[in-house]
Amino acid sequence: MKLQRLSLWIKIIGRLAAFLGVVAFVTAIDAFIDGAERSVNTYPGYPAMNQPISGKSSKPIESTEKLSYTISANDIVLHFTGAESSVWHHAWSGALKIGSSIEPGEYALFVSCGAEIPEKRITQYKIVVYKDFLTYKDHIKSYVRRYLGVCPWWIFLGILPFFGLCFGIVYYLSGQKEAIMATSGRSEISKLKLSEENWLISFGLGSKHGIKENDIVSVYTPDGTKIGTVKVKEVFSDISTATAPKWQKIKPDYEIRLRL
């Protein structure tokens, strides 16, 4: 009964982990789509919206006081909130405030750094203003940002701990199941590979369970039907490898049993 409960929980949690993996994968794709629009320096918005904005500079930024901007609209204001510089990277961050009376359209934002040597190329950003929130929402390419209003990377990062926890639980329960099965001379096939002539099989029974090289052991389906035998080739303490003729219909969830 305990073995059946373990198998059930492994199946349930394994499927949950697979579901979380699919959600994380889809969310990551959504995040890349979301970042693609921002990577070309385009920031969509709507009247009375405040949003974070960031960019790069070709010159070191000593402080936000060295930064300046010009924009083709009086109703859009940029407040610089931070700046950082390293040997290879110079970046700034800020808050973009779109006025409530602005007309929909595209506006050009130019940000420059007042360094000792002027920048050869001042970075340009495109601010796309839609007439209202619903129109803005319909044009958001990221489904996560469109319907949940958050950055998809936060969803992705939030899934990862639960994804890892599920795999940890499955690993622990699988170890418990394997130990219970081994005490009765049983083991699920852990690895199964088809070569040119034979099946190559690994299972969780070894020398401490009485397995010896060249032993002939039986293969059973999960419901207890014997379907053939395999010949042991290598024996270790807890695991063994074996071969079987490829005409035998062996599957990964089948079992090796030393005795009934």
pLDDT at 121: 65
Q: What is the pLDDT of residue 115?
A: 62
CATH architecture of the domain formed by 28-156: Sandwich (2.60)
Give the pLDDT confidence score for residue 112 in this predicted structure.
85
- Low-confidence stretches of the chain (pLDDT < 70) are 1, 37-39, 115-121, 259-260
Domain with CATH 2.40.30.270 in the chain: 185-257
State the pLDDT at residue 37: 66
pLDDT number for residue 240:
93
| Whole-number pLDDT of residue 70 | 92
Nearest to 21 by CA among 167, 190, 149, 152: 167
Length of the chain: 260
In the chain, CATH 2.60.40.10 covers 28-156
Topology of the domain covering 185-257: Elongation Factor Tu (Ef-tu); domain 3 (2.40.30)
Q: HEC profile for 82-107? A: EEEECCCCEEEEEEEEECCCCCCEEE
pLDDT score, position 127: 92
pLDDT tens-place string over residues 47-90: 999 989 988 887 788 888 888 899 988 899 999 999 888 877 88
Residue 61: its pLDDT value, please? 82
Nearest by Cα to 32 from 138, 181, 156: 156
Q: How far is CA 195 from CA 10, 189, 198, 217, 250, in A?
A: 30, 16, 5, 20, 13
